[in-house]
């Protein structure tokens, strides 16, 4: 459906003044809104141009994976393949040694950076996004990320958990944070559901249970702390509340709920985190139906990373309704309310379609960025889930075609260590890599583990 992009190009090129007009109950209206915001987002992307780096955005690496994840969902729910060439090019170019740990950036990456590319690959696998002949499967790329992160599971401090940063010389190496561990949990849960491989199920259980021993997942209150520190034995807490932290744990719990046919553990987690999410990020002062990044929008001091977060919660919420159907009645009205509000906010720039960050504000707030367009694209696209029959993410047993490679990524000496493989058992206690630095940008450790079967 290239015409959707063409329509946006024509309108913009003609200098037509147009706000994003949205009727959330109309399929074409939703598609047009999503196409307009996607076009605005991709107008900031140059990685597919001659001489540029595919998949790389200026000043950030992880956001490329987030953007492609957004566009894969956009393709699946709109049918518009206008950006598929750019997505495919960037996703393959940045794959590193089939683990999304490319050597050009590996010296400064965090676990959270890498996992977003893994989640993008997992999304491609679950939605049967086209694969190129001769290239690794999307599923295997997600498995490569999982393998390298599982090898970094650090039992030398706090009895487990992933550190925020990978290398000891990085600021934040002493931190274990919600998005790194929540992202790893979500990836494991999605791999478990897709492959029905018990190893991934065990890891998802392990990450969730470990998180519950720390403030990163406080089950007594169903709150998620952003950070905790190994120097405090992971009992201190940075309490800034972010949408994507809740979204990643909620999404992982939803996949586990679906996999286990509604096990009480996962229902309890979903219900608890959902209640906090709706209370915290859909403020009653704005009617309770419009999503807000409450930690930074009030003072208008969100950074570019934080401007992405609402889009992730939007898309994870949308697919959650397909695998945990009882959440539909709570989620869909809020996705619809957020989309209507976002469309009113998207009136910036000469063409009056650029989106700001405060969806609850009826007039443009004066900000615009690729990240704000990304979040708007996600919330518009997510509302298409109600028009999509059989929209639940595929698995190997329900039509998923991406092929498994359980050992993907394990041969990369730079990703975590030189990895010696052995079967993982239910009692696996794989330790963290033992780190030494011979020079900045390189270190060697070891940890033994592997996956049996795919």
For residue 5, the model assigns a pLDDT of 43
Does residue 395 lie in a domain region?
Answer: yes
Longest dimension (CA), the chain: 64
Tokens for 442, please give them.
């390189």
Q: What CATH number is given to the structural domain containing 172? A: 1.50.10.20
Contacts of 139 (CB under 8 A, 6+ apart): 121, 122, 125, 194, 195, 400, 402, 403, 404, 405
Q: Which helix (H) or strand (E) holds 376?
A: helix 370-382
For residue 439, the model assigns a pLDDT of 27
For residue 415, the model assigns a pLDDT of 61
Does residue 192 lie in a domain region?
Answer: yes
Q: Give me the DSSP letters along 326-366.
A: GGHHHHHHHHHHHHHHHHHH--BTTTT-B--S-TTSSS--S
Residues in the chain: 454
Can you tell me whether residue 38 is helix, strand or coil? Answer: helix
Tokens for 48, please give them.
């597919």
Burial of 451 (0-12, 13-18, 19+ CB in 10 A): buried
Does residue 370 lie in a domain region?
Answer: yes
For residue 361, the model assigns a pLDDT of 96
Binned average pLDDT, 10 residues per bin, the chain of 454 residues: 39 50 96 98 97 97 98 98 98 98 94 98 98 98 98 98 97 97 98 98 98 98 98 97 98 98 98 98 97 98 98 98 98 98 94 96 96 98 94 97 95 52 31 28 34 41
- Residue 100 to residue 96: CA distance in whole angstroms: 5
Task: Find the helix packing angle between 178-195 and 198-211, rounded to 10°.
Answer: 150
The CA-CA-CA angle for residues 146, 148, 154, to 5°, reads 100
Contacts of 339 (CB under 8 A, 6+ apart): 22, 24, 30, 33, 379, 380, 382, 383
Specify whether the CB–CB gap between 331 and 340 falls below 8 A. no
Number of domains comprising the chain: 1
- Residue 34 to residue 437: CA distance in whole angstroms: 47
Specify whether the CB–CB gap between 198 and 130 falls below 8 A. no
Specify whether the CB–CB gap between 83 and 42 falls below 8 A. yes
Instruction: Report residue 52: phi and psi, to 5°.
Output: -100, 175
Instruction: Report residue 348: phi and psi, to 5°.
Output: -90, 170
Does residue 214 lie in a domain region?
Answer: yes
Closest of 177, 97, 409 to residue 166, by C-alpha: 177
- Residue 403 to residue 387: CA distance in whole angstroms: 28
Can you tell me whether residue 253 is helix, strand or coil? Answer: helix
Instruction: Report residue 9: phi and psi, to 5°.
Output: -60, -45
Beta partners for residue 110, in sequence order: 165
Does residue 277 lie in a domain region?
Answer: yes
The upper half-sphere exposure of residue 212, i.e. CA atoms within 13 Å in the direction of its Cβ, equals 15
The CA-based dihedral angle spanning residues 277, 279, 283, 285, taken in that order and rounded to the nearest 10 degrees:
170
Please give the sequence-ordered ranges of beta strands (E in DSSP) within 155-196, or none if there are none.
175-177
For residue 19, the model assigns a pLDDT of 76
**The domain containing residue 220 runs over which residues?**
32-409
Q: What is the pTM of this model?
A: 0.89
- Residue 290 to residue 321: CA distance in whole angstroms: 18
Tokens for 273, please give them.
């985190």
Does residue 435 lie in a domain region?
Answer: no
CA distances from 94 to 62, 102, 413, 441 (A): 10, 6, 17, 19
For residue 411, the model assigns a pLDDT of 80
Does residue 248 lie in a domain region?
Answer: yes
Does residue 424 lie in a domain region?
Answer: no
């Amino acid at each position: 459906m290239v015409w959707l992009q063409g329509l946006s190009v024509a309108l913009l090129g003609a200098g037509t003044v147009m706000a994003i007009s949205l009727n959330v109950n109309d399929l074409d209206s939703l598609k047009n809104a999503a196409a307009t915001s996607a076009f605005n987002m991709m107008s900031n992307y140059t990685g597919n141009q001659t001489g540029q780096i595919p998949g790389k955005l200026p000043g950030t690496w992880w956001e490329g994976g987030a953007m492609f994840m957004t566009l894969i969902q956009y393709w699946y729910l709109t049918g518009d393949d206008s950006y598929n060439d750019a997505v495919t090019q960037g996703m393959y170019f940045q794959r590193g040694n089939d683990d999304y740990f490319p050597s050009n950036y590996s010296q400064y990456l965090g676990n959270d950076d890498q996992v977003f590319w893994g989640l993008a690959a997992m999304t491609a696998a679950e939605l049967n996004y086209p694969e190129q002949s001769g290239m690794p499967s999307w599923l295997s790329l997600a498995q490569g990320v999982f393998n390298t992160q599982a090898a970094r599971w650090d039992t030398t401090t706090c009895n487990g958990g992933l550190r925020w940063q990978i290398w000891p010389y990085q600021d934040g190496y002493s931190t274990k944070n919600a998005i790194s561990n929540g992202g790893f949990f979500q990836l494991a849960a999605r791999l478990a559901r897709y492959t029905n491989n018990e190893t991934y199920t065990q890891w998802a259980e392990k990450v969730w249970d470990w998180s519950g021993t720390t403030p990163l997942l406080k089950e007594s209150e169903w709150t998620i702390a952003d950070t905790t520190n190994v120097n405090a034995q992971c009992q201190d807490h940075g309490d800034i509340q972010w949408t994507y932290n809740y979204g990643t744990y909620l999404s992982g719990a939803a996949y586990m709920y679906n996999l286990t046919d509604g096990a009480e553990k996962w229902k309890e987690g979903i219900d608890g985190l959902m209640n906090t999410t709706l209370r915290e990020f859909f403020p009653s002062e704005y009617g309770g139906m419009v999503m807000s990044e409450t930690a930074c929008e009030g003072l208008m001091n969100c950074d570019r990373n934080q401007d992405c977060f609402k889009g992730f919660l939007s898309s994870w919420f949308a697919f959650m309704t397909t695998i945990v159907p009882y959440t539909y009645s709570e989620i869909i009205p809020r996705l619809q309310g957020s989309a209507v509000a976002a469309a009113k906010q998207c009136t910036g720039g000469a063409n009056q379609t650029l989106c700001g960050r405060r969806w609850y504000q009826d007039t443009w707030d004066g900000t615009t960025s690729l990240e704000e367009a990304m979040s708007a694209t996600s919330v518009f696209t997510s509302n298409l889930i109600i028009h999509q029959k059989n929209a639940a993410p595929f698995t190997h047993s329900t039509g998923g075609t991406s092929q498994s490679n359980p050992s993907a990524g394990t041969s990369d000496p730079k990703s975590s260590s030189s990895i010696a493989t052995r079967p993982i058992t239910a009692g696996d206690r794989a330790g963290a890599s033992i780190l030494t630095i011979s020079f900045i940008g390189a270190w060697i450790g070891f940890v033994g583990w592997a996956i049996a079967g795919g």
